[in-house]
Amino acid sequence: MIQIKTKQTGKKYWRSLDQLAQTPAFMEWLHREFPSSAEEVIDGASRRNVLKLMAASFGLAGLTACRRPVEHILPNVKGVEDYIPGKPYFYATAMVHNGVAQGLLAEVNDGRPTKIEGNPEHPFSLGAANVFQQAAILGLYDPDRARSPRQDGKDVDWKVLDDALKTLSGSLGQGDGLRFLSESVTSPSFAAVQAAALAKFPKAKWIQYDAISQDEVRAGSQLAFGQQLVVRPRFDKAKVILALDSDFLGLDADTVLSVKEFSRGRKVAAETDEMSRLYVVESRFSTTGATADHRIKMRASEIKAFVSDLAAALKVGGNELKVVGQGDKKSKWIEAVAKDLGANRGKGLVVAGPRQPAAVHAMVHLINQALGNAGETVTYYKSTLEQTRPQLEAIAELAGELSKGQVSTLVILGGNPAYSAPVDLDLAANIKKVATSIYVGLDVDETAVACKWSIAEAHFLESWGDALAPDGTATIQQPMIAPLYYGRTQAEIVAALTGYKDQRPYDIVRNYWTAKFAKGDADKLWRHALHDGVIPNTTFAEVKPVVDAKKVNGAIQPAAQSASGMELVFTPNWATWDGRFANNGWLQEIPEPMSKITWDNAALVSPATAKQLGLSTHGWMVKGYKATDTEGHSDPTQAGNFVDMIQIEVDGRTLEAPVFVQPGQADGSITLALGYGRTECGHVAKGAGVNAYKLRTSKAPWIVADAKVSKIAKQYQIVQTQEHGTMEDRPLLRESTLAEYRKEPNVIKEMLEVPELVGLYGDWDYSKGNQWGMTIDLNACVGCNACTIACQAENNIPIVGKDQVNRGREMHWIRMDRYFVGDEEEPQAVMSPVPCMQCETAPCENVCPVAATTHSPEGLNDMAYNRCVGTRYCSNNCPYKVRRFNFLAWNYGTPEVEMMKFNPDVTVRMRGVMEKCTYCVQRIQETKIQAKLEGHRPIKDGEIQTACQQTCPADAIVFGNINDPNSGVSKLKKQKRNYGMLEELNTKPRTTYLAKLRNTNEELEAKHG
């Protein structure tokens, strides 16, 4: 039913756009507006001039005010049951990320999915979504997606493919020489197809490989428990948390739940409230480290020693190792943490990052068990989809077979292994040796090029499927729109190849589940499953395993440290993850939370290491107007962001990479993000970053103990959205410690002394009706950028490209500020989103000569784009610098298909006008009208959610009516932590902040922040 609906309307829209594009009116307009038609609307450097100019309906509609081209209305031919044109519908679905599924809701406007939200019903979303999920919309409409099957690099008709598959499946026999290479299978129905395939072809093999694999985690649990278990930490229950090289609030979080739960433990309403404490030990300065109450930097390879010392300090198991060769600071640290954990038995929690070796994970399990945390703050599940075989081992074997020519048919299902597999396996070359190689993928990527056949895959928003959350909760993945390019799902292809009983993806999924449901009301249950986005009672069985302390203690014996060489650590990244999102402009342009770099990756090194390597150092701690700090670090603004480049060598293989000096980075350790430097990719990804996979071998997939590094005579311009790292002692983002706050709750307000602020005229009366306001809780915010992307999707915010970001023209309405605090040795960071403050006495309004920005009776700082003439005076006079100007025609370049992403409730701004956050006024208006229709009822608190608030995994952003004393936002504004940024200017901001509190341990407090 739904599929039919979306198909129909989807196609309708599609068709109408085509027609519009051919109308003489449009053609005439196109030529009138762009005499040079297609090429060069924007200056050469922009990434957009390569996309051809097809600004169809939006630009056209914008002009109908003055000219009147004939415009057609194309109604449905057959009425669609309870479907109202122009009204958005929400459907539940799920997105698989990092091997697990998270439930989502997709907003569909006239058959076009336009916005992703978290599914409140889903236990691992609770209404929130992360950057990758938010940006999926743009991925769906990516004009560079594979559009048809390709045979030997040439597009062919689907018919040709189907015939080829038929003949091939006939010729497979017992399936010797038949190999399947997929990513981790997370879909039960697909697993069924897989099982059927392997049953039909007993000689065939199925290899699962993820570039960002959980091998070590699995091995760890195998080592500790003798079985593979899913570990489920419960950060909301823990009072003391120790994260060992684990960015569980950032890149190592598989769903948003970890942030949700953690932030619950950090919310402080009254001064008396309890608050969890977070210790972080890590090599890279992650957002988790920035959130930590105490953090020390440490080379990733020393964590193993650290954890065994910690175990020793905790007297865990038989391990009686003495703390040796440890700096005084570190041992103090260990003692303090051990004491704290010991004091909080059953309320503590230790977690380790997936990069750490199995032994570390095992020891973590041991510690958690010894401290009685197991079962309390961490629970274990037995997965139904477990992978007994280490992925690296499996793919290595496959590579061997390939090179020996033992494989006749290779079916690769997504994942782009030719790009992301360990470099020493040389997969790209080996694939070419196979007689029949088939690739199913979204893009024409490195693997697609290597294979004989490549098949356009259906995007998850286009296809039927299902997937499991970390705890096994199953979700049906339903399509929001018919496949734009008739793409196929992986299951569909395998089913076709292996003659599975069901061929259509819909049948594959539905029949699998209805078979599981109780016979009678299978249909009803199925409908419920679709509606809720959750299938009840599908969670894995919880188990209470026992750790084999002996084995663990045996494994943990630290090998001789090779502290000599430079350590190289690989991580996924915030923009492209493992490279799969490389062509997604929203993600490419989102700044990396700590370094604020966009459109690139860089080798992160500590200032000390940089000096040691003789590299020019950008001092992100440089203070004041000076060009350099005492250390001689130059201020990046003045260095023009040109950085040195180094050559990194890992057993014979070399890579040239730009260096970025990151305070808080462990000395002697380089962090390099995977997923950049794509070669076979779309326009957006071209030239973005360097390919770290070139150094990643199956021997050392995460941590290279001794990489050779040398400076080379090259420079590279990296681009950031924020170039100055320090707050200049200005009380912008305020923080204190929990202890101090309890002693003197007014400490936050007292950070600023202002004389009584009086205006020249009386204040305007905002005491009646709805008065919108917002609070942002710095204590909860982990700087994950989800709000920025959500805003970008909701408000049709354009992408500007690396060159334009470099010119300081990024368009994000809600930007993420990051300031370093504390000493340069062990810096801390505070982060916060900065949207428009909706000042009651808005400085921007006074100076606008044409009254394009004015105040609404409900306290909004309205911005009428169609009135703006673009003097930019408002931006100059905005102390928060949150206004964004369309310096060039960002939207004229948008290809037709990409325009389907636009939110119809928000104007697509033209060149030359100013724009800014409006508290999602379109949502406010919709709700107000709805309330009117329902008999002028008052609007309920929380009924209106801004896009940023809705998606925030930390619930840091709260929006509502400040006139209603019982609304969430008014309650928060009553807190002592509440303050207005730059309130001394008497701008009366409606958006206020709740100061950050660090729950410090006084034992460590004395030593350092």
Partner 1 sequence: MADLAVRNDPHVRPRLVEGDPSLHQVTEAVSSIIETRTPYSWWIAIAITASIAGVLKLCLGWLVYNGIGVWGNNQPIAWAWDITNFVFWIGIGHAGTLISAILFLFRQKWRTSINRFAEAMTLFAVACAGIFPLFHTGRPWRAYWLFPVPNTDLYMWPNFRSPLVWDVFAVSTYATVSALFWYVGLVPDLATIRDRAKTKGRKIAYGVLSLGWRGSARHWRNYEMAYLVLAGISTPLVLSVHSVVSFDFAASLLPGWHTTIFPPYFVAGAIFSGFAMVVTLMVVARWVFKVEHLVTMKHLENMNKIMLATGTVVGYAYASEFFIAWYSGNPYEKFTFLNRAFGPYWWAYTLMVSCNVISPQFFWFKKLRTSIPFMFVISLVVNVGMWFERFVIIGTSLHRDFMPSAWGYYHPTIIDMLTFFGTFGLFLTLFLLFLRFLPMIAVSEVKGMMATQKMHDAHLEAVAQAVEH
Partner 2 sequence: MALIFPKTIDQYVRIGGALVAVMALGGIGAYVYFSHPLVADTGYSPVQPVPYSHKLHAGTLGIDCYYCHNTVFKAAHAAIPATETCMNCHVRVKPQSARLEKVRNSYATGEPIPWIQIHKLPDYVYFNHSAHINAGVSCVSCHGRIDQMMEVKQVKPLNMGFCLDCHRNPAPNLRPVEFVTKLGWQPDRDPEEMGREIIAAKHINPPTNCSGCHR
Partner 3 sequence: MHTNTPELRDKTIYGVVAEFDQPSKLVAAGRVVHHEHGYTKLDAISPFPVHGIDDAIGVPRSILGYIIFCCGSIGFISVASLIYWAGGISYKLVIGGKPLFAWEPSIPPIFEGTILFSAFAAVFGMFAINKLPQFYHPVFNYERFGVATDDRYLLVVEASDPKFDIVDTQRLLESLGAKHTEVVEA
- The binding site for partner 2 (CB under 8 A) comprises 12, 19, 58, 61-62, 64-65, 68, 70-79, 84-87, 852, 854-857, 860, 862-867, 905-908, 918, 921-922, 925, 929, 932-933, 936
Give 602-616 as a DSSP string. -EEE-HHHHHHTT--
Name the nearest CA neighbour of 573 among 582, 583, 561.
582
Work out what residue 985 binds among partner 2, partner 1, partner 3, none; the CB cut-off runs from 5 to 8 Å by kind.
Answer: partner 1
Determine the 3-state secondary structure of 323 from DSSP.
coil
Closest CA to 420 of 693, 698, 701, 699: 693
Among 423, 842, 897, 899, binds partner 3 (CB under 8 A): 842
Q: Which of 48/304 has CB closer to partner 1?
A: 48
- Selected from 508, 604, 848, 997, the binder of partner 1 by CB under 8 A is 848
Stretch 895-914: interaction string toward partner 1, x if CB under 8 A: ---------------xxxxx
Q: Is 750 helix (H, G, I), strand (E, B) or coil?
A: helix
For position 855 contacting partner 3 by CB under 8 A, the verdict is yes
Q: How far is the CB of 858 from partner 2 (least distance, A)?
A: 8
- DSSP per-residue codes, 367-391: HHHHTT-BTTTEEEEE-SS---S-H
Contact status: 594 vs partner 1 (CB under 8 A) = no
User: Closer CB to partner 3, residue 37 or residue 841?
Assistant: 841
Contact 245, 570 (CB under 8 A): no
Other CB atoms within 10 A of residue 752 CB: 14
Asked whether the beta carbons of 149 and 455 are under 8 A apart, the reply is: yes
Nearest distance from residue 882's CB to partner 1, in Å? 8
809 binds partner 1 (CB under 8 A): yes
Q: Which of 20, 30, 41, 352 binds partner 1 (CB under 8 A)?
A: 41
What is the rounded distance in angstroms from the CA atom of residue 438 to the CA atom of residue 432?
Answer: 11
Q: Residue 841 Cβ, how far from partner 3 at the closest point, in Å?
A: 4
Three-class DSSP labels, 939-1008: CCCCCCCCHHHHHCCCCCEEEEECCCCCCHHHHHHHCCCEECCCHHHCCCCCEEEECEEECCCHHHHCCC
Q: 697 vs 854, which CB is nearer to partner 3?
A: 854
Rounded to whole angstroms, how far apart are CA atoms 595 and 673? 12
**Per-residue CA distances from 140 to 491, 676, 830 (Å):** 19, 20, 34
* Token output for 138: 């743009």
Any idea which residue has 């990151």 for tokens?
A: 662
Helices (H), 181-315: 188-200, 215-225, 257-264, 287-291, 303-313
State yes or no: residue 730 binds partner 1 (CB under 8 A). yes
CA gyration radius for the chain? 28
Among 169, 406, 841, 871, binds partner 3 (CB under 8 A): 841
822 lines the binding site for partner 1 (CB under 8 A): no
Our measurement of the distance from residue 988's CA atom to the centroid of its chain's CA atoms, rounded to an integer in Å, reads 33
- Give SS3 for 773: strand
Count other Cβ atoms within 10 Å, centred on residue 758. Answer: 9
Helix (H, G, I), strand (E, B) or coil at 421: coil
Give the closest residue to 620 by CA, choosing from 607, 602, 609. Answer: 607
* Residue 880 binding result from partner 1, partner 2, partner 3, none, given CB thresholds of 5 to 8 Å by partner type: partner 1
Which of partner 2, partner 1, partner 3, none interacts with 925 (beta carbon under 5 to 8 A by kind)? partner 2
| 3-class DSSP state of 629 | coil
Residue 551 within binding range of partner 3, rule CB under 8 A:
no
* Closer CB to partner 2, 907 or 970, in the complex: 907
299 binds, among partner 2, partner 3, partner 1, none (CB under 5 to 8 A by kind): none
**How far apart, in whole angstroms, are the C-alpha atoms of residue 828 and residue 296?**
10
Report in angstroms how near the CB of residue 881 gets to partner 2 at its nearest.
22
Nearer to partner 1, 50 or 851 (CB): 851
Q: Are 751 and 693 in contact (CB under 8 A)?
A: no
CB of 761 to partner 1, least distance (A): 11
Residues in CB range of 396: below 8 A, 6 or more apart = 422, 425, 698
- Residue 760 partner contact from partner 2, partner 3, partner 1, none using kind-dependent CB cut-offs of 5 to 8 Å: partner 3
- Cα separations in angstroms, 110 against 214, 657, 662, 925: 40, 46, 46, 20
What six digits make up the tokens of 488?
A: 């196929």
* Under 8 Å between Cβ of 655 and 419: no
Task: Examine residue 851 and tell whether it contacts partner 3 (CB under 8 A).
Answer: yes
Nearest distance from C-beta of residue 927 to partner 2, angstroms = 12
Q: Which partner in partner 3, partner 2, partner 1, none is near 679 (CB below 5 to 8 A by kind)?
A: none
Q: Where are the beta strands (DSSP E) in 160-204?
A: 178-182
Q: Which is nearer to partner 1, 21 or 732 (CB)?
A: 732
Of 800 and 868, nearer to partner 2 (C-beta) is: 868
Judged by beta carbon distances under 5 to 8 A according to partner kind, the member of partner 1, partner 2, partner 3, none in contact with residue 640 is: partner 1
- x-marked contacts with partner 3 along 856-895 as a string, rule CB under 8 A: xx--------------------------------------
Q: Report the interhelical angle of 549-556 vs 358-370 (nearest 10°).
A: 140
Question: Which residue in 424, 847, 931, 1000 binds partner 1 (CB under 8 A)?
Answer: 847
Q: What is the smallest separation between the CB atom of 933 and partner 1, expressed in angstroms?
A: 28
What does the angle CA 493 – CA 587 – CA 290 come to, to the nearest 5 degrees?
120
Which of residues 170 and 935 has its CB atom nearest to partner 2 in the complex? 935
Contact letters (x/-) for partner 1, 625-664, by CB under 8 A?
Answer: xxx-------x-xx-x------------------------
- Smallest gap from Cβ 930 to partner 2, in A, equals 9
Are 160 and 484 in contact, with CB atoms under 8 Å apart?
no
84 binds, among partner 1, partner 3, partner 2, none (CB under 5 to 8 A by kind): partner 2
Q: From the CB of 876, what's the least distance to partner 3, in Å?
A: 15
Q: Please, are residues 466 and 450 in contact by the beta-carbon 8 Å criterion?
A: no
CB of 64 or CB of 638, closer to partner 1: 638
Paired tokens of 1: 């039913």
Q: In this complex, which beta carbon is closest to partner 1, that of residue 716 or of residue 873?
A: 873
Residue 764 interacts with partner 3 (CB under 8 A)? yes
Site membership for partner 3, residue 928 (CB under 8 A): no
Q: Using CB under 8 A as the criterion, what x/- string covers residues 795-834 for binding partner 3? A: ----------------------------------------
- Look at the block and give the residue holding tokens 């048809």: 148
Stretch that binds partner 1, among 386-394, 410-418, 423-431, 805-813 (CB under 8 A): 805-813
- Site size with partner 3, rule: CB under 8 A: 20
- Please enumerate in sequence order all residues whose Cβ is within 8 A of that of 98, keeping only pairs 6 or more positions apart, or say none: 212, 254, 577
- Tokens representing 767 are 């005491």
Q: Which residue shows structure tokens 């081992």?
A: 393
Measured from the CB of residue 84, what is the shortest distance to partner 3 in angstroms?
A: 34
Measured in degrees and rounded to the nearest 5, phi and psi for residue 588 equal: -60, -35
| Largest pairwise CA distance in the chain | 89
Nearer to partner 2, 714 or 932 (CB): 932
Indicate if the alpha-carbon torsion angle 792, 798, 803, 808 is positive or negative. negative
**Residue 722 binding target from partner 2, partner 1, partner 3, none, CB below 5 to 8 Å by type:** partner 1
Binding residues vs partner 1 (CB under 8 A): 41-43, 624-627, 635, 637-638, 640, 722-730, 732, 804, 807-810, 815, 817-819, 834, 843, 845-851, 867-873, 875-877, 879-881, 883-889, 910-914, 982, 985
Binding residues vs partner 3 (CB under 8 A): 759-764, 840-846, 848, 851, 854-857, 988
